[in-house]
Amino acid sequence: MQTVPENRKISPSLTFFTIHGMQFGIGMLGFQRTIAKFAGYDAWISVIFAGFTTMMIMWMIYKILELGKPDLSETHQFVFGKLLGKVFNLFFIFYFLLYITTILRTYTEIIQVWVFKDINVFIFTLIYLLLCMYIVFGGFRTVVGMMFFSVILPSYLLILFSFTVQYADFHNLLPILDHSMKDIILASQQMSLTYMGYEAFLIYSPFVKNTNQSKKWAYLALLVSLLMFLYTAVLTFGYFSEEMLQRYVWPTLTTWKIVHLPVVERFEYVGIANWCLIILPNTALALWCGSRLLKQTFNFSQKKGVVILCAIPLIIVPFFKTRQQIDMLNNVFGHTGFLINFFYIPFLLILVWLVKKVKAKG
């Protein structure tokens, strides 16, 4: 593996923004309705449970990098050999491609429903992907810089959730544990779409200085994400009845309708516009990770990989037109991410440990 020059690496503290920024994405706008389908108002427990399981998976990711090789591609070759390792790389390339497609189509649907009904999906996707390409062509440090601003600048949006407190009835959350443990675990599984993104660390870890020192920042990022989702879920459950919650696809946007400021009457429009800044670096980092894997797998320039990975969603996204089709896309993405995080990563850790033990004896 080619050594990454020091001037292309980021400091360990910036790992916080790369991990938290990937989680603070499109899933934040509607996860409350999805988890409440299974566990009702006990779903706030599912948020905590899913958050702590992500910390366990993050520990496994660091363990894989310690026992194996510096990144995912090299680890695949270490465990499966050169040819089969490339096959597993392709699966992750597909995953990042699915990530980009899901984010783009879901956000475009929100714009269609809330702001511009007749927006041209193809044109919007083209402009959006050109922006992502421009960011990725600037290098990994540029992508991380955008992630930093995507976390800091829109953070004021969380404060505006407090507008719901005066109308909320937190007795809705009682009695606690009114649902079975099975329902709570099923709701935790649905949180996978919202918590997803931290597994990208397997690809960009060689670009972090002193990877071991980044651990505390990675766990802090996951903890902040957990608290943020818990805060949002509790306020939403206090504001909506269970019946009302199931009628709104994006409860977060609906709560913003009650925000009235002297200079802004419809604040949800501001929130939707700001969300573009939030998900733009998410898409750019997924694009960078996918193109990096393409470069390592097929040995061509990363810029060519970026163009290929942008061309595919540009063709695919306009074909998803109805709410059912877009919901199916989100479900496929959620299940794929769940399998990668909670099945494949533990499985890979076991394989890395076994291979290293066998090679040490040999």
Q: Helix 267-298 to helix 140-152 angle, to the nearest 10 degrees? A: 160
* Encoded amino acid at 77, one letter: Q
14 domain-assigned: no
CA angle 189, 200, 38 (to 5 degrees): 10
Structurally, the chain folds into a number of domains equal to 1
Q: What is the pLDDT of residue 265?
A: 72
Q: What is the pLDDT of residue 362?
A: 65
15 domain-assigned: no
Rounded to whole angstroms, the Cα distance separating 99 from 332 reads: 10
pLDDT over 60 (residue 1): no
Q: What is the pLDDT of residue 30?
A: 84
Report the candidate in 302, 283, 304, 284 with the shortest Cα–Cα distance to residue 292. 302
315 domain-assigned: yes
5 domain-assigned: no
What is the tens place of the pLDDT at every residue in 15-39?
999 999 898 888 888 888 889 888 8
Mean pLDDT (the chain, rounded) = 89
13 domain-assigned: no
Average pLDDT score over residue span 156-177 = 80
Q: What is the pLDDT of residue 59?
A: 95
Rounded to whole angstroms, the Cα distance separating 135 from 144 reads: 10
What is the tens place of the pLDDT at every residue in 45-94?
999 999 999 999 999 999 999 987 889 999 999 999 889 999 999 999 99
What is the tens place of the pLDDT at every residue in 206-224?
999 988 899 999 999 999 9
Rounded to whole angstroms, the Cα distance separating 101 from 290 reads: 13
pLDDT over 80 (residue 161): no
**pTM to 2 decimal places:** 0.93
> Which CA distances in Å does 162 have to 28, 29, 228, 231?
16, 16, 13, 10
| 192 confidence band (pLDDT: 50, 70, 90) | confident
Q: What is the pLDDT of residue 12?
A: 93
pLDDT over 80 (residue 261): no
Rg over alpha carbons for the chain, rounded to the nearest Å, is 20
pLDDT over 90 (residue 241): no
Q: Which of 196-200, 239-243, 288-292 has maximum average pLDDT?
A: 288-292
70 domain-assigned: yes
185 domain-assigned: yes
Average pLDDT score over residue span 324-335 = 90
Q: What is the CATH number of the domain that holds 334?
A: 1.20.1740.10
Give the burial class of 142: count Cβ atoms within 10 A of its Cβ; 0-12 exposed, 13-18 middle, 19 or more buried. middle
- Please name the residues in contact with 46: beta carbons below 8 A apart, sequence gap of 6 or more: 35, 38, 39, 184, 185, 187, 188, 190, 191
Average pLDDT score over residue span 325-330 = 91
57 domain-assigned: yes
Q: What is the pLDDT of residue 204?
A: 94
Question: Domain range for residue 63?
Answer: 23-352
